Amino acid sequence: MFQLHGWEAVLFYVLAIMALFMGVFVVTARLAVHSALFLISTLVNIALLFILLRAEFVAGVQILVYVGGVMVLFLFVIMLVQTRAEEEARVRLYTRQSTPAVLVAVLLALSFILAMQPAQPAFRLPETAAAQTAAAQTVDASESSTMQNTERVGEALYRQAALPFEIASLLLLVAMVGAVLLARGRKQEKLYE
Amino acid sequence: MPSRYELLVRVILWVAVLGLLASNARKLSEFAGPRLRKVAFAVVWTVVVGGFGYGIWWVIERMGPKQFEPTLVQFLMVSFLLFIIGVAGVLSRRNIIIIFMSIELILNAVNLNLIAFSRYLQLNQAALVDMKLIVNPLAGPVFTIFIIVVAAAEAAVGLGIVISLFRNRETVAIDEIDLLKW
């Protein structure tokens, strides 16, 4: 069974609550820049949760690609597109359907948590088996160390998932060309024609 | 038993002290006001936070710490709540860039879900193989990496569209972008 113990459990709760609060701040922040900074915080928290789940490679990719790449792109676009109207509270922040959306979201969250409550004991370790399984888990963790896990993911990426990997590189190329084409201005358009 | 004279002196002294305090109340509050307010604020907050922590400790002690150790279900809950926050952001914000960020939030919730299930499969591989199920715990991380790649591509193209839109219409509010609406 899969259950975190001791400090890992405390860390899980801290990271999860931080991630959720920062997610709420992403949605409710007045300025897009603040929203982006809160999103960076959420992404780092989720990367730490990945490390808690022993997926170190994915955590590294998350930090490098998301926080290092995508969020910098977001910040650049926010700086290019920034209008003073939002800062000075002259515009509405939310659309007209925001109240029903939030209501439905809260109801969905409550219903999901209530629906998962009966499933909880099935995933929990029986008290007697807890100690030996914990020992087995530590052995397992020492066996499948960082390097091995990363190695196995890399092997799967280049063997079983080789075709999707190449398609992903093609997708990135197409996206790059498409972004350049979409974002060019009038002057550049004339230059190329 | 105090004598009548002593009682009289006491009453006069109390009245004088209270009268002095009352007549100088404004000055006193100006002198001690901000500081007293700060002290009261600190005391109240200490009591509230301490009481909250004590309440959590009491519940954990009463129900047993083992009941609160996170399993797969807790990870699914966090993931679902992040997903819901992202959906609420997509539906309720007007700024198109914040909508893109909410979409990133949704994608991250899905990633967390995949990684949690992958860890679950990895730890229970033997038992699940005994039940004649095909188990591949590496599918989670591999899928997550592809989702991150697609999210990066989507963000690049989407932000390109935002920039060209801002160049043409001078707005990033989604309810003002209604050229294709009839």
Q: What is the rounded distance in angstroms from the CA atom of residue A96 to the CA atom of residue A105?
A: 15
Token pair of B166 as six digits: 């801002």
Mean pLDDT score across all residues of chain B: 85
Distance of CA A144 to the CA centre of its chain: 24
* CA-to-CA separations, B29 to A2, A108, B41, B121, B158, in angstroms, rounded: 59, 50, 16, 65, 58
A140 contacts B163? CB cut-off 8 A: no
Q: Is the pLDDT of residue A138 over 80?
A: no
The pTM assigned to this predicted structure is 0.78
Token pair of A33 as six digits: 């820049």
Q: What is the rounded distance in angstroms from the CA atom of residue A3 to the CA atom of residue B70?
A: 6
Q: Half-sphere exposure of residue A9, counting CA atoms within 13 Å on the CB side?
A: 13
* Averaged pLDDT, A16-44: 93
Q: List chain B residues with CB under 8 Å of A138.
A: none
Q: What is the rounded distance in angstroms from the CA atom of residue A163 to the CA atom of residue A167?
A: 6
How close A86 comes to chain B (CA, Å)? 9
Q: What is the rounded distance in angstroms from the CA atom of residue A177 to the CA atom of residue A174?
A: 5
CA-nearest residue of chain A to B119?
A53
Q: Is the pLDDT of residue A137 over 60?
A: no
A-B C-beta contacts closer than 8 Å:
246
Q: pLDDT, tens digit, for every residue of A142-170?
A: 455 555 688 888 888 898 889 999 999 99
Q: What is the rounded distance in angstroms from the CA atom of residue B48 to the CA atom of residue B16?
A: 38
Q: pLDDT, tens digit, for every residue of B10-32?
A: 888 888 888 887 777 667 666 66
Q: pLDDT, tens digit, for every residue of B30-62?
A: 666 677 777 777 888 888 888 888 888 888 777
Distance of CA B8 to the CA centre of its chain: 61
Q: Is the pLDDT of residue B64 over 90?
A: no
Of A65, A23, A40, the C-alpha closest to B154 is A65
Q: What is the rounded distance in angstroms from the CA atom of residue A182 to the CA atom of residue A184?
A: 6
Contact B87, A112 (CB under 8 A): no
Give residues 105 to 124 of A whose Cβ lies within 8 Å of B.
105, 108-109, 112-113, 116, 119-120, 123-124
B68 contacts A9? CB cut-off 8 A: yes
Q: With H, G, I as helix, E, B as strand and everything else as coil, classify residue B108.
A: helix
Q: Is A150 on the interface with B (CB under 8 A)?
A: no
Q: Is B104 on the interface with A (CB under 8 A)?
A: yes
Percentage of residues in chain A having pLDDT higher than 70: 82
Give residues 37 to 96 of B whose Cβ lies within 8 Å of A.
66-78, 80-82, 84-89, 91-95
The per-residue pLDDT for B62 is 78
Q: Is the pLDDT of residue A14 over 70?
A: yes
The per-residue pLDDT for B2 is 64
